[in-house]
Amino acid sequence: MAKILIVEDEKAINDLLKLNLEMVGHQCVSALTGRDAIHAAGEQGFDLMLLDVMLPDMEGFGVMEKVRDVPTIFLTARGATTDKVRGFGLGADDYIVKPFEVAELLARVQAVLRRTHREETEYSIDDLVIRWNAHEVFLRGERVDLTPQEFTLLHILIENRNVCLSRQKLLSEAWGTDFLGESRTVDVHIQKLRRKLDLDDHIKTIYKNGYRFEE
């Protein structure tokens, strides 16, 4: 679970980001102006900052110059190359142009957290404990053996907890875009995960859509 500062002056979008990031287990603080963001970053530490370029009181670049030690993803309606270059020049970790897909945003947030080593190292629910770095899974204190593919699939489901992922999305994320398998492959692996880890109540099948890990 990471602590994320959302700097976006449009309340609708700020709330949207907060809702989705909190759903996957992050803790969020919202700022509607650049000044609020600098103030919040001065008071508490953050693992990541989502930063809009066009803020009412100052440009996002100005905020980034003041808040230097927090990994940053720029969020903006402008897709101009010069803006991207400027953002990356200041040390931005990624750049997302509006309108964006929520799933894409979550994936990019995870990627930046992984790159900056700020992702969670352990996850537990009911009697299940997972140590991500050691690739170890314990159910009721006993170690359970998972194949690398099952482990990756579990990781993706939990990273996107409470969010439904389509079979196609799971295939491309867990098996890679080059994999030519059928979506049936996903169903088989999900069945195995449910059985091995006693996750029937948590890995839900969403009608006509895919699977969702629910806490």
Positions touching other proteins (CB under 8 A) are: 9-10, 12-13, 15-16, 19-20, 23, 54-56, 77-78, 98-103, 162-165, 209, 212, 214
Kindly tell me which of 194 and 196 has the beta carbon lying closer to other proteins.
194
Kindly provide the b/e burial profile for residues 31-51, where b requires at least 16 CB atoms within 10 angstroms of the residue's own CB: bbebebbbebbeeeebbbbbb
Kindly tell me which of 20 and 72 has the beta carbon lying closer to other proteins.
20
Q: How far is CA 156 from the centre of its chain?
A: 10
DSSP letters along 29-92, please? EEESSHHHHHHHHHHS--SEEEEESB-SSSBHHHHHHHS-SS-EEEEES---HHHHHHHHHTT-
Cβ burial, residue 101 (10 Å; 0-12/13-18/19+): exposed
CB 44 to other proteins: min, Å: 25
CA dist 95 → 57, 85, 86, 180 (Å): 21, 10, 11, 30
Kindly tell me which of 192 and 212 has the beta carbon lying closer to other proteins.
212
CB 95 to other proteins: min, Å: 15
Kindly tell me which of 56 and 181 has the beta carbon lying closer to other proteins.
56
CB 173 to other proteins: min, Å: 14
CB 136 to other proteins: min, Å: 28
CB 18 to other proteins: min, Å: 11
Kindly tell me which of 82 and 133 has the beta carbon lying closer to other proteins.
82
Q: How far apart are CA 15 and CA 22, in angstroms?
A: 10
